[in-house]
């Protein structure tokens, strides 16, 4: 038992690559499920379903990425940190699919209508902003960029906080009346951000 526990806390490089492979496949499951529902014609309004489902998974993966640090603080094993980049990139991946679904299937590249949406609909504006902010984070996610940017890498990647807020707002403003779902995401994000504020607090007081 002890060795197993020790293994869980400190997996060998081989075990870690297996773990990464498993998480990689796990993150593809929602996409498979969404594709299955659309392909079998189970959704009455498939384009709406596809766009919504991809958007919801973007948010979930984003929140999961933000949950890694607080989980570590709560005593979760260190290898969780090694999965964070993959989770963040997956959030970006689902976000790109979500955006493509809107641009292609929903609006069918009607750029006038899309431009109008971005300017006039606050929920589209913040959604676009969130995607725009994710782009530099995805590009600079490699080890090479991390070394090149040095301390600025960390500063740049703090963009994840405003973009997550934009993402939740995007969901909140889209919903017609029943805000229970976006409120749940907002509450989780609030906890994740409040923990970070609280972590920085003592230093500021000194």
Partner 1 sequence: MLIRRPADILPSDITPEAVYLNRRQFMAGAAGLLLPVSALAALPARKSPYSTAEQANSRSDITSYNNYYEFGTGKDEPALYAGRLKTQPWNIVVDGEVEKPRSFGMEELLKYPQEERIYRLRCVEGWSMVIPWIGFPLASLLAQVRPTSKAKYVAFETALRPGEMPGVARRVLAWPYREGLRIDEAMHPLTILAVGLYGDVLPKQNGAPIRLVVPWKYGFKSIKAISRIRLLEKQPATSWNLAAPDEYGFYSNVNPAVDHPRWSQASERRIGEFLKRKTLPFNGYGTQVAQLYRGMDLVKNF
Residues making contact with partner 1 (CB under 8 A): 44-45, 47-48, 105-108, 113, 116-117, 120-123, 173-174, 176-178, 180
Q: How far is the CB of 183 from partner 1 (least distance, A)?
A: 12
For partner 1, give the closer residue by CB, 30 or 46. Answer: 46
Residues with Cβ within 8 Å of 10's Cβ and at least 6 positions away in sequence, in order, are 77, 78, 79
Q: How far is the CB of 138 from partner 1 (least distance, A)?
A: 28
Residue owning tokens 């609909």:
121
For partner 1, give the closer residue by CB, 107 or 140. Answer: 107
Q: How far is the CB of 177 from partner 1 (least distance, A)?
A: 6
Side-chain-side CA neighbours of residue 21 (13 Å):
6
For partner 1, give the closer residue by CB, 143 or 178. Answer: 178
For partner 1, give the closer residue by CB, 90 or 102. Answer: 102
| 184: its two tokens | 């749940």
How far is residue 125 from each of residues 116, 130, 132, 143, 162, measured CA to CA in Å? Answer: 10, 9, 11, 32, 14
For partner 1, give the closer residue by CB, 173 or 195. Answer: 173
107: which DSSP letter? T
Q: How far is the CB of 122 from partner 1 (least distance, A)?
A: 7
Q: How far is the CB of 51 from partner 1 (least distance, A)?
A: 11
């Amino acid at each position: 038992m002890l060795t197993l526990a020790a293994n869980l806390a400190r997996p060998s490089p081989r075990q870690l690559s297996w773990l990464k492979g498993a998480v990689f496949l796990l993150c593809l499951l929602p996409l498979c499920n969404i594709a299955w529902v659309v392909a079998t014609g189970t959704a009455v309004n498939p384009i709406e379903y596809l766009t919504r489902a991809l958007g919801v998974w973007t948010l979930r993966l984003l929140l999961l990425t933000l949950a890694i640090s607080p989980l570590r603080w709560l005593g979760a094993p260190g290898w969780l940190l090694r999965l964070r980049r993959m989770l963040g990139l997956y959030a970006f991946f689902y976000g790109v699919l979500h955006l493509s679904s809107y641009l292609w299937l929903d609006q069918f590249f009607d750029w006038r209508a899309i431009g109008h949406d971005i300017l006039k609909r606050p929920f589209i504006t913040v959604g676009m902003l969130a995607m725009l902010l994710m782009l530099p984070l995805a590009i600079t996610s490699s080890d090479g960029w991390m070394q090149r940017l040095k301390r600025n890498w960390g500063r740049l990647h703090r963009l994840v906080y405003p973009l997550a807020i934009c993402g939740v707002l995007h969901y909140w403003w889209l919903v017609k009346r029943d805000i229970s779902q976006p409120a749940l995401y907002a509450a989780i994000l609030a906890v994740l951000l409040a923990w970070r504020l609280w972590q920085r607090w003592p230093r500021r007081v000194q």
